[in-house]
Amino acid sequence: MSGILDGKRILITGVLMESSIAFHTAKVAQEQGAQVILTAFPRPTLTERIARKLPEPAKVIELDVTNDEHLDRLAGLVRDELGSLDGVVHSIGFAPQDALGGNFLNTPFESVATAMHVSAFSLKSLAMACKPLMSDGGSIVGLTFDAQYAWPQYDWMGPAKAALEATSRYLARDLGKDGLRCNLVSAGPLRSMAAKSIPGFSELADVWNHRSPLAWDMNDPEPAGRGVVALLSDFFPKTTGEIIHVDGGVHMMGA
Ligand SMILES: NC(=O)c1ccc[n+]([C@@H]2O[C@H](COP(=O)([O-])OP(=O)(O)OC[C@H]3O[C@@H](n4cnc5c(N)ncnc54)[C@H](O)[C@@H]3O)[C@@H](O)[C@H]2O)c1
């Protein structure tokens, strides 16, 4: 059976639990013919345990995306395993507790800086760490939560996602000449670990119960994973700096 990622080699960050968008991305990518390599934070053992639930075995490499040593050694480790890459998935987000849940006006800059470093600047770090492996071009795909709006409880993750969205456009601008595309999937709310760390996440997610034209299931990350796989495939060959909404349609509803 042929798949839309046949013959492609894809690096996927962010597999932590079965509820991770990255886990479903890896699953669909393998089903569509890709060879997948995973990166892990905070511990490879956690990711290795979840990776056993994938249809095919996948090698796991430790990567804290804020650690320059980890970033410097990444290309060598991936080259030993796969030779080169056709795609990279950034499925990483984090903000300290005092940057979330209604503390926007009092969050110290240190916490804002951490959110920006892990959630936005890291897209550039990951892209540049993997660039030497994509000399024939390729596709970089990240995950955002619509940063056009001020959401309840989301607080400094909002500006961090706005920075991620802008970073993706600047990467698309600067890497286009190397045949590299950079796009984001803007997903609706999903009950992952990252979501559980946001106090009052249900209040935010409740918007989808009232406004989503398509029925939205917060326990099903597969539609987001499928969107990522589509952007990794050859079916968006001239699309870059774009944000594809996989949110049931909420982004375009006026009321
Ligand atoms: N869950 C949602 O409602 C939702 C909606 C839209 C977008 N997103 C985005 O999707 C992406 C994946 O989140 P998820 O919902 O699958 O949750 P998740 O908790 O399963 O994934 C978040 C990942 O970030 C990783 N991470 C955190 N700090 C890191 C670091 N320093 N270095 C490397 N990795 C690090 C974690 O290990 C984890 O795998 C995030 O960018 C998130 O903001 C999530």
Instruction: Say whether 161 is catalytic.
Output: yes
54 located within any domain: yes
48 located within any domain: yes
> Is residue 15 annotated as involved in ligand binding?
no
Name the catalytic one among 149, 154, 170, 238: 154
Q: Read off the CATH number of the domain in which 101 is found.
A: 3.40.50.720
pLDDT at residue 145, as a whole number: 98
Q: pLDDT for 106-135, tens place per residue?
A: 999 999 999 999 999 999 999 999 999 999
What is the number of structural domains in the chain? 1
Contact 43, 21 (CB under 8 A): no
114 located within any domain: yes
> Is residue 141 annotated as involved in ligand binding?
no
Pairing of β 138-144 and β 9-12: unpaired
pLDDT at residue 218, as a whole number: 96
Nearest to 81, CA basis, from 106, 61, 107, 102? 61
1 located within any domain: no
| Residue 136 in tokens | 């024939």
Instruction: Say whether 27 is catalytic.
Output: no
Contact 10, 37 (CB under 8 A): yes
pLDDT at residue 127, as a whole number: 98
Atom of ligand 1 nearest to the CA of 188: 5
What's the CA-to-centroid distance between 192 and ligand 1, angstroms?
8
CA distances from 137 to 11, 47, 87, 88, 164 (A): 14, 28, 9, 11, 21
26 located within any domain: yes
Q: pLDDT for 158-216, tens place per residue?
A: 999 999 999 999 999 999 999 999 999 999 999 999 998 888 888 889 999 999 999 99
pLDDT at residue 101, as a whole number: 92
4 located within any domain: no
221 located within any domain: yes
- Taking all residues of the chain, what is their mean pLDDT, rounded to a whole number? 97
> Is residue 59 annotated as involved in ligand binding?
no
- Tell me the residue range of the domain where 86 lies: 9-252
List ligand 1's pocket residues with C-beta within 6 A. Answer: 13-14, 16-17, 19-22, 41, 63-66, 91-94, 118, 143-145, 187, 189-190, 192-195
3 located within any domain: no
Q: pLDDT for 72-114, tens place per residue?
A: 999 999 999 999 999 999 999 999 999 999 999 999 999 999 9
